[in-house]
Amino acid sequence: MRISFLFSKKEKKRFTYLIIFSILVSLIEVIGISAIMPFIDISIDFQSIHQNIYYSYFYEKFGFSSEVEFAITFGLLLMVFYFFRGFANFIFTYQTNLFSQRIYSSITKKLFDKYLTMPYVNFTSYNLNFLSKNLVAEANYISLISGSILLVVSEFFVIIMILTVLLAANWKITLIFSLILVIKLLLLGNTITSKIKKAGDRRLSAQNNLFELINRLLKNFKLIKLMKPQDKVKLNNEFHLTVDEFAFASALNNIFGAMPRIILETIGFSMIVLFLVVLLYKSESDISFILPTLSLFILSLYRLLPSVNRIVSSVNKIIFYRNSLKIIETQLDQTSENNGNNKIRFDDKIELKDIFFKYEKNKILTNINLEIKKGEKVAFIGESGSGKTTLVDIVIGLLQPTEGYIYIDGELLSNSNIETWRSSVGYIPQDTTLFDGSISDNICFGREFNSKKIKDVLDKVNLLDFVKTKDGLDTMVGDNGVQLSGGQIQRVVIARAIYDDPDIIVLDEATSALDKKNESKILQEIFNSTIDKTLIIISHNVKTLTFCDKIYEIKDQKLMQLSSNT
């Protein structure tokens, strides 16, 4: 399993710095643990100050007047050191968490950039819930994995250094403790790892279902409100079961993740007690002589067990979310467009020559030849799935033909100029895409705000008088235009399409949801507001297309002209 491919050079460097920092923090941790033993030794027996060469050296070097003064100074210095230790741990925790969240931010940005540069034909093969889940959830799980890896490395150094100190103190006890812990960890790993893998697979499946179900239910809220009570209960139960499945999979991970800590702490401290019992049995007296060493082992164990547990928990977390890494890696390996932005002029005509298009093994269009003059109003009709939308997507540069060429005023449309060509198109989709914001935000849709341009387009689509009766350009439309009528929603979408004064306007079944009277009215308004524009219409109703210069039908992969008013 690879994760380094997700890191930039800067992030890899920061990761290396954090590893070095973790070693320093580990060293500080060990000093903090090992320093307690000499302090206890001095506190319970002042004679050790003069008997130990190191204690006596510092005692004489700094001219202490009494053993009590020396012990108190030692204790105060130890307290200062523990404050420093706490500060170092805080900085390390802060930096590691910041690093993990930066990884989440970086991956989300890379994914979003990938999706924006993905060829349109590839994008249409994905479920939007899947893409949303990757951006929100799976990218976050990668940050958890990266944080877990960092934690494993950090705690590994802590364990190594603590064991080194314990070996120096009493190598026999240390080896016995270590051997028992290793054997137990191996047994736990074999038992728990497979269960966590299954829980991870279960989590991914349940989460996919949950995202899809939430999207499906919320998008059909009106339909649900009109359902029979028993049908609502059925949908409600389906949602409850899906949430329960996701929650249970996450609970399994938490349960299996907690088991190592419980077992390790039970074994570790039981071993300390057993050790004391054996010493008492053998000596048949008090064991104050071993108190400093025993204190070291107890403190070390108190710090060692959480480290072992963090490593086990982190490894389990990596296993649990391993599918996220596979998903993100696959997504970032997707093909990206590498288009130029060279100028291309459209003053005369668009020519399609010998166009063929197939999707996978399915032929959609065969030998299409077409000419659209600037300013013409052209319509394409045909049965659902006949290829009319595909043909228009080829014209506007969203799809590239399998064979054939497109010329704009005699210049070949290619990757070098396709971005300029696409930006000259205003698109009015079949499905409205208004978001919960102001009418001006919906029209600009991320482009530069210009109040004069907004008022001009609102006037062209007969909405200016309406917004004047509300809050002007700040009039809220509601989620998906819930505060507007169907006709007003269509007009906002049209205003968005013509905001940048494009050369070409495309209507992709844009009025199909309206009744015949409103459809004819909206189409006439579009025609009136695009007199000097090239208008391309995809429609199912030929009766509403009387103002078009040419009407084509796509049938059996071929293009046939039905009428011409030119």
Tens digit of each residue's pLDDT (9 = 90 or more) over 401-415: 999 999 999 999 988
Q: What tens digit of pLDDT does each residue of 1-53 get?
A: 566 667 778 888 888 888 888 888 888 887 877 777 778 778 777 888 888 88
424-434 mean pLDDT: 80
3-state DSSP call for residue 462?
A: coil
327-345 mean pLDDT: 85
Q: What tens digit of pLDDT does each residue of 214-224 get?
A: 777 766 665 66
The rounded distance, in Å, linking the Cα atoms of 14 and 9 is: 9
Residues 6+ apart with CB under 8 A from 148: 314, 315, 317, 318
Q: Ranked by mean pLDDT, which of 228-242, 279-293, 454-468 comes out on top?
A: 454-468
CATH topology of domain 4-332: ABC transporter transmembrane region fold (1.20.1560)
Q: What tens digit of pLDDT does each residue of 147-167 get?
A: 888 888 888 888 888 778 777
Identify the residue whose tokens are 């959830």: 137
Report the side by side order of strands in the sheet with 534-538: 425-428, 504-508, 534-538, 377-381, 550-555, 558-564
Considering the chain, tell me which residue range(s) the CATH 3.40.50.300 domain(s) occupy.
349-564
89-96 mean pLDDT: 86
Are 545 and 551 a contacting pair, CB within 8 Å? yes
Considering the chain, tell me which residue range(s) the CATH 1.20.1560.10 domain(s) occupy.
4-332
268-273 mean pLDDT: 63
471-488 mean pLDDT: 82
Angle formed by the axes of helices 486-498 and 451-460, nearest 10°: 130
How far apart, in Å, do the first and last CA atoms of the chain sit?
63
Amino acid (one-letter) located at 143: S
Are 390 and 376 a contacting pair, CB within 8 Å? no
97-117 mean pLDDT: 86
**Exposure class string for 325-343: b at 16+ Cβ within 10 A, else e:** bebbeebbeeeeeebeeee
Residue 402 to residues 62, 386, 421, 453, 519, Cα–Cα distance (Å):
87, 17, 19, 39, 35
pLDDT at 353: 92
The rounded distance, in Å, linking the Cα atoms of 147 and 294 is: 34
Q: Give residue 503's Cα distance to chain centre.
A: 37
> Which pTM value belongs to this model?
0.72
**Backbone torsions φ then ψ of 125, nearest 5 degrees:** -85, -5
Domain 349-564 has CATH 1.10.10.10: no
Q: What tens digit of pLDDT does each residue of 480-539 get?
A: 778 888 778 888 888 888 888 888 988 887 665 556 666 667 777 777 767 778 988 887
Burial category of 541 from C-beta neighbours within 10 Å (exposed 0-12, middle 13-18, buried 19 and up): middle
pLDDT at 224: 67
Extract the tokens encoding 58. 């510092």
The rounded distance, in Å, linking the Cα atoms of 167 and 155 is: 18
Kindly tell me if the per-residue pLDDT of 455 is higher than 60: yes
Report the side by side order of strands in the sheet with 349-359: 362-373, 349-359, 403-408, 411-412
